[in-house]
Homo-oligomer: A and B are copies of this chain.
Amino acid sequence: MSLDPVLDRIDADLPQAVERLKELLRIPSISTDPAYKADCDMAADWLVADLVAMGFAASKRPTPGHPMVVAHAAGDGPHVLFYGHYDVQPVDPLHLWNRDPFDPQVEDTPKGKVIRGRGTSDDKGQLMTFVEACRAWIAVHGSLPAKMTLFFEGEEESGSPSLVPFMQDNAKELTADIALICDTGLYGDSTPAIITQLRGLLGEEITITGPDKDLHSGMYGGLAMNPARVLARVIAALHDEDGRITVPGFYDGVPDLSNELAAAWDDLRFDEAAFLGDVGLSIPAGEKGRRPLEMIWSRPTCEVNGMWSGYTGDGFKTVLPSQAHAKISFRLVGTQDPLAIRAAFRKMVQDMIPADCSVTFAAHGASAAGQMTTTHPAFAQARRALSDEWPQAAAYVGSGGSIPIAAYFKQILDMDAMLIGFGKNDDQIHSPNEKYDLSSFHKGIRSWARILHAMTQTA
């Protein structure tokens, strides 16, 4: 089956593809907030309907949380599984958005046209690049060039609690020759990238309790322990003066950067000044003596993702709070053991709590770092196909993010996984005013069409 008419079809159909994406984006499928449960369900229904209309055998599959969508289509080539997620991040702080995050529109910007709205880049826009590539193949050739399984999750932004059990329960159905995952970005603005290493993620929520109720700071201040002070001491103690994380044993399993990888990454000529300048910063803040790309891709981190205590509204309230809270996450690399680090973190915090206070912990996910093997022929095929579509040759890169699905495909289904995506650093995913470049969407669809063709030709 020839490629060119498929690419032509993609170009001609782009306006309709954008309208379809906007329909999906309008559904506020925020998975972490129980208030949006019905919307997550609706997003899954939308995908099932779209895939059935294209000829897939698609269904919504229940889990204890939000449903999975699984779709199959017959084909002669290799069996390819594609993964994406239809859930999105919360939108707060809402007042920083320049438009309704769930009323997406194409906007002209100095850097070109973008689609603005929550989930445009992470991950609905990326997910739809693959769906639209399939649509074009079917429209032109009446069928797909490969046997296909699509697998869409609705809990990626909330720790994927149902993912592993679902994969275990449906291992036979989900196993293919190779997995394709579209939830990552380009390197820079125009270099297509295949991710070969990912950081793991450990999430912890801590609640420190001092007095059993909020107190008047005039009546009790000076005598009663303030849990916000205790929390501040805990957070301040998590890094030393050199930016290293102080949790005992934290660096067990963190590999030094190999000379080979250091050289490959130096070749990428990472523009640290532009990367930080885009977000109003200029000074790398991580561990002293590390390369910037190394800090993001191959060093572990500890970040406060949220903290709160006492009165946070307008004006002033002289309360001595009963509780202080923090959401803290660790990005992990190499063979760092998430569960061992969780235990060491909890012990370290517990040891810092004064006798009169108490602390409780809640777990929010724990996944190890991932390292891809690139020996499967699909890696070289995809690299060539991407290089044909984009102005720069495709590169093997690392990622600071955490996409444990790649590791699960290997561990549970014994499949290699290729992480290829078309997001950009300035997409503001997880932030207000998220966007996806129209060129990312368009060339992303074309990229998948080329990759499917390349894998089929040589299969």
Does A276 lie at the interface of the complex (its beta carbon under 8 Å from any beta carbon of B)?
A: yes
- B220 contacts A279, CB within 8 Å? yes
Does A43 lie at the interface of the complex (its beta carbon under 8 Å from any beta carbon of B)?
A: no
Docked pose: A222 CA to B233 CA in angstroms = 20
The 0/1 profile, CB within 8 Å of B marked 1, for residues 402-420 of chain A is 1000000000000000000
Given contacts A226-B304, A304-B310, whether A431 and B280 have CB atoms under 8 Å apart is: no
Within 323-337 of A, Cβ neighbours of B (below 8 Å) are at 324-327, 329, 331
Does A285 lie at the interface of the complex (its beta carbon under 8 Å from any beta carbon of B)?
A: yes
- B90 contacts A313, CB within 8 Å? yes
Instruction: Please name the residue on chain B nearest to A315 by beta carbon.
Output: B32
Within 272-317 of A, Cβ neighbours of B (below 8 Å) are at 272, 275-276, 279-287, 292, 295-296, 299-301, 303-317
- A201 contacts B303, CB within 8 Å? no
A239 to chain B, nearest CB (A): 7
Interface size range on A against B:
35 or more
Docked pose: A425 CA to B223 CA in angstroms = 14
Given contacts A214-B430, A292-B223, whether A310 and B305 have CB atoms under 8 Å apart is: yes
Within 174-223 of A, Cβ neighbours of B (below 8 Å) are at 199, 201, 203, 205, 210-223
Q: How many copies, total?
A: 2
Docked pose: A231 CA to B228 CA in angstroms = 11
Docked pose: A276 CA to B312 CA in angstroms = 25
Does A429 lie at the interface of the complex (its beta carbon under 8 Å from any beta carbon of B)?
A: yes
B157, B158, B159, B276: the one within 8 Å of A223 (CB): B276
Does A235 lie at the interface of the complex (its beta carbon under 8 Å from any beta carbon of B)?
A: yes
Does A78 lie at the interface of the complex (its beta carbon under 8 Å from any beta carbon of B)?
A: no
Docked pose: A306 CA to B303 CA in angstroms = 20
- B223 contacts A316, CB within 8 Å? no
- A92 contacts B311, CB within 8 Å? yes
- B296 contacts A306, CB within 8 Å? no
Given contacts A211-B281, A305-B320, whether A219 and B311 have CB atoms under 8 Å apart is: no
Docked pose: A235 CA to B231 CA in angstroms = 9
- B286 contacts A222, CB within 8 Å? yes
Given contacts A222-B299, A281-B224, whether A203 and B316 have CB atoms under 8 Å apart is: yes
A221 CB contacts on chain B under 8 angstroms: 296, 301, 303, 331, 400
- B216 contacts A331, CB within 8 Å? no
Docked pose: A214 CA to B428 CA in angstroms = 8
- B213 contacts A280, CB within 8 Å? yes
- B305 contacts A311, CB within 8 Å? yes
Docked pose: A309 CA to B303 CA in angstroms = 12
5 closest A-B pairs (Cβ-Cβ)? A32-B315, A212-B280, A218-B401, A232-B235, A228-B304
Q: What are 8 A-B pairs at a CB distance below 8 A? A: A211-B279, A216-B401, A222-B299, A228-B326, A232-B235, A281-B356, A305-B310, A307-B310
Q: Can you add 14 more A-B contacts, CB < 8 Å, to A217-B301, A223-B295?
A: A31-B315, A90-B311, A203-B316, A213-B428, A213-B431, A217-B331, A221-B303, A221-B331, A222-B301, A223-B272, A225-B281, A226-B304, A308-B308, A315-B364
